[in-house]
Structure 1
Amino acid sequence: MVDIGYLASINDTSNSLDDFTTQKEKLYSAKSVLESIAGEPVNGANPYYGLFDENTVQSLIDDKYKFVITDSLTDRSVPKSIIRGNDKLISITKTARDDYEVIRDFGLNLPEYQRYTYQEDVDRILFEGGLYVFKLHTEYQCRPENVNVVRQIIKDLKQKYFWITTASEISKWFSKKDKIEVRVEPRGENRVVVTVSNPGDNTINSLVVKVDLNQPATRIKLSTEIIGTKLAKYEFDKVNKTVYLYINDLEKGESRTYYVDYTKPNA
């Protein structure tokens, strides 16, 4: 967390963030100090007051940061890639209400009310297919009388098949994901062809491809265009008429074509 100046909001005209040189020096210093202490690379930054500007973006890129986290609660539930020439920075925005709002602002002191409020956001993010940012503070949600709610929310996230991970791993994943190419096309009445390509420089794992059949189906069968192609695991959601392909070890430069065959009910 780095203090790069203060803005009350993006419309604040009375205050301002630091100039480019000052921001760059602060971000570089923070990164250097933390890396010397931890003995590990520091890839992300969180502006102290939550907002950043173009000077911040360029400073972060120059200082070799990979992602920035903002406290701004927006209507965007997935990270955003900020491209500057050949460089890229992943912006992770606040996608859900945290304990400042739930406990401090809303006054929800009963654990069951806290849990219901968090779960509303979890279900919304699940519907949107986005990233749930679960942000906590020691003086609120992490107090002994409230901390069990954290366990309950994590359990709920696991039951709903969320990937629970760190901001660094999310940044790595979205950097790779931006280079994935997927083409889905129907072929005849009972087949969908899915082609997945990796033009990037890294092997892709844990890739999920959503194939909407847009009609009821039974007897789902998955095959490949070329013999010897690694077969993906798959699941079929009958309610939403959707097939999920789970793809691993997609090497750089590799392309795979899958055939999703199915039978219509009563056919």
Structure 2
Amino acid sequence: MDVLRRNDVQVTGTPGAPPMVFAHGFGCDKSMWRWVAPAFERSHRVVLFDHVGAGGSDLTAYDERRHGSLDGYAQDVVEILDALDLGPAVLVGHSVSAVIGTLAAISAPELFDRLVLVGPSPRYIDDDGYRGGFSADEIDELLDTMDDNYLGWSAFIAPVIMGNADRPELGEELTNSFCRTDPAIARRFARTTFLSDNRDDLPKVTTPSLVVQCRDDVIAPLEVGRYVHEHLRDSELVVVDAVGHCPHMSAPDALVAAMTEYLAR
């Protein structure tokens, strides 16, 4: 299979420059990076792609067994980097793709220079001594509602994820993105995402990382960002003055500034 076609990979930026790969979160596609990725086109070879089931990806490439775990998505990322052969990359992963990025870096550390983890969460469900932000019952209800009425669920949950109630156009864009995603794949990806527990994987990461956390995020609370930072051996934590789970859409300038400062060091 043509990996680049499978994930509708697009490469822009400066030929010969270090690669920077952007990985979108659940319910999104590569277009969500349009306020951030161009800022790095002069300094990097910018790579955008869609997870299987999203955007312009090849829906026939979805494999229930492979994509039934985040490791399968991580393997997709490794295959993309292998196919491009651009050298060690900076991977910028949002939400679940932050965790997918860490798994890819564990699998093939030679392919990664640094990780930028935007709103990461290794476990969404609260546990003894750990606050993921949701109870098990809340996650079960969320997934059941999605199964019963995906479009209605999308219209309800997208503005909650986005935050910024004073800017309803952002919530509407996220809702529309959810509705463009294949519903059957989205429901399975949601279960894979919200029921995952990758806390034990964090200490295995050897790639230097930047954890970017919004000051107010109902999906990945500040405690989660601190947890990720404390369990990644070579990481920095930056809390940006933004609300919601999608700073690349609601506060792109702040995210670009945090990334630029980190990468310059």
Q: How does the TM-score come out when normalised to structure 1?
A: 0.23
Largest Rg, 1 or 2: 1
> Greater helix share, 1 or 2?
2
Q: Identify which of structures 1 and 2 has the higher relative contact order when contacts are C-alpha pairs closer than 8 Å and 6+ apart.
A: 2
TM-score (structure 2 length as normaliser): 0.23
Structure in which a larger fraction of residues adopt strand: 1
